[in-house]
Amino acid sequence: MPFQSFSFHPKVVAGVTAAGYTTPTPIQAQAIPKIMAGHDLMGLAQTGTGKTAAFALPILHRLMQGPRKQIRALVIAPTRELAEQINDAILDLGNQTRLKSITVYGGVGVNPQIEKLKNGVEIVVACPGRLLDHMSQGTIDLSNLELLVLDEADQMFDMGFLPDIRRILKQLPPQRQTLLFSATMPPEIRGLAREILRDPATVQVDTVAPAATVTHALYPVAQHLKTPLLMQLLKHTDTESVLIFTRTKHRAKRLGEQLEKAGYTAASLQGNLSQNRRQAAMEGFRSGEFQILVATDIAARGIDVSQVSHVINYDIPDTVEAYIHRIGRTGRAARSGDAFTLVSDEDGIMVRAIERTLGAAIERRTVDGFDYAVAAPRKDEEFARPPRPPRVQRPKAKTPAGQGAAAPVHTGKKPAAPANKPSGGKATPSGSVRHPQRSQRSR
């Protein structure tokens, strides 16, 4: 089934094309026609299945008709990271629509959000706590709401957000279409679905990962030895095509250059690239011209990587979901794949969270003949230490521009990542742990 069969508005089709999507994922194939027909929906799907576009595209299509500058679609998500991710997807896919989407979550200044809400937006992606604050302060007008999405409902339940959700729901116009997405179906979510969905269609897709065909392995190594170890790994492994993930754009760029210097056909994909160069890197990887692609999570979105034989996490991701998502890129369609993760001392909490989710310990491996005892060099400190944690936000400091920004969709501009306070790694019952230094629960 091609995307054309959905009869999306041409401006939405343009977004799909720009994102490089050619074929709908199973959740999209099942859910989009139901949503476009106006049904409430219960979607059982995990991150990595393409569920964001499954609701974002019909929302964008619908909002092309009708009034602007009033909130017509609201997406509620458990964490600020997910809210940003969803907003980014809406901004990308809605690039040509001139619809505006903003994020609303706690831990950042409220005034910029109020300002953007006043200026008029059509889509809001919110975390429950801050949304409730706006509702009780009267700084958000949801009286024109047509579409509500509750994303990762099971995680919202795990995080204790269900009472907040119920409070929010009570104040929303009852005449609306409601879509509820959840990876699992605990009784509480089943109950919530019964309460709030009207005659819903149910769609379910198998979890994309961990695919049984993927072999996981951890390679403990000091930060400053990551690159030499990676080189050894590549030398000794029979790799067809390798997707390497780094945490930052800078690291992706540097590593891509180092791999090229070492004689590999490699490209790096990071947010600073022009659309043309991005396209060229993706095409080159797809065609086999580049054996290795180095990317950040954001930059890797939309890559069709059914051929990837190895995913290597040069840096461990921020969340368990991101790990599952990254490794979901190998071992597709029953091919076998390997997912290697280089881990250093500070990654312990995340490793344990990933293992809890996988339900098994991941094999620790060492590379024979590799000298793990080499001391850190005095120079070249960029790769010799972990990337800097985000700046601590001072209570009275001005909110950095762009946080939760009301970026017009057509500019394609993305709001800056929130500056989080360092916090202790927090495990949720679902095993969803945010990296201790890089994230915190959003209210």
Smallest separation (angstroms) from ligand AMP to the CB of 420: 21
> By the 8 A CB rule, do 75 and 126 touch?
yes
Nearest-angstrom CA–CA distance, 64 and 59: 9
Pairing of strands 177-182, 147-150: parallel
Query: Which of 29/234 has CB closer to ligand AMP?
Result: 29
Query: Which of 50/317 has CB closer to ligand AMP?
Result: 50
Query: Which of 22/411 has CB closer to ligand AMP?
Result: 22
Query: Which of 52/319 has CB closer to ligand AMP?
Result: 52
Smallest separation (angstroms) from ligand AMP to the CB of 301: 3
Query: Which of 301/421 has CB closer to ligand AMP?
Result: 301
Which residues here bind ligand AMP, judged by CB under 6 A? 21, 23-25, 28, 47-53, 301-302, 304
Beta bridge partners of 42: 180, 202
Give me the residue label for tokens 């950040």: 296
Token pair, residue 146, equals: 């047509």
Smallest separation (angstroms) from ligand AMP to the CB of 133: 27
Q: What is the sign, positive or negative, of the torsion defined by CA atoms of 273, 278, 280, 284? A: positive
For the beta carbon of residue 335, count every other beta carbon within 10 angstroms: 15
Query: Which of 301/443 has CB closer to ligand AMP?
Result: 301
Query: Which of 65/275 has CB closer to ligand AMP?
Result: 275
Q: Which whole-number Å values give the CA distances from 260 to 266, 276, 281, 296, 300, in the listed order?
A: 6, 20, 13, 18, 19
| Angle of the 162-170 helix axis to the 128-137 helix axis, nearest 10 | 30
Q: What is the sign, positive or negative, of the torsion defined by CA atoms of 382, 234, 295, 440? A: negative
Give me the residue label for tokens 């979510």: 189
Query: Which of 139/207 has CB closer to ligand AMP?
Result: 207
Smallest separation (angstroms) from ligand AMP to the CB of 28: 6
Smallest separation (angstroms) from ligand AMP to the CB of 33: 15
Query: Which of 55/290 has CB closer to ligand AMP?
Result: 55
Which strand (E) or helix (H) includes residue 293? strand 292-295
Pairing of strands 337-343, 214-220: parallel
> By the 8 A CB rule, do 262 and 230 touch?
no
Smallest separation (angstroms) from ligand AMP to the CB of 101: 15
Token pair, residue 208, equals: 């994309």
Beta bridge partners of 182: 44
Smallest separation (angstroms) from ligand AMP to the CB of 303: 7
Buried residues in 116-138 as b, exposed as e (16+ CB within 10 A): bbeeebbbbbbbbbbbbbbbeee
Say which DSSP state 213 is in: T
Smallest separation (angstroms) from ligand AMP to the CB of 390: 22
Smallest separation (angstroms) from ligand AMP to the CB of 183: 10
Give me the residue label for tokens 């969709």: 409
Smallest separation (angstroms) from ligand AMP to the CB of 87: 12
Query: Which of 31/351 has CB closer to ligand AMP?
Result: 31
Helix and strand element counts for the chain (H, E): 14, 14
Smallest separation (angstroms) from ligand AMP to the CB of 16: 8
Query: Which of 24/415 has CB closer to ligand AMP?
Result: 24
One-letter amino acid at 279 equals Q
Under 8 Å CB-to-CB from 238, ≥6 apart: which residues? Answer: none
Residue closest to 286 by CA, chosen among 263, 270, 262, 302: 302
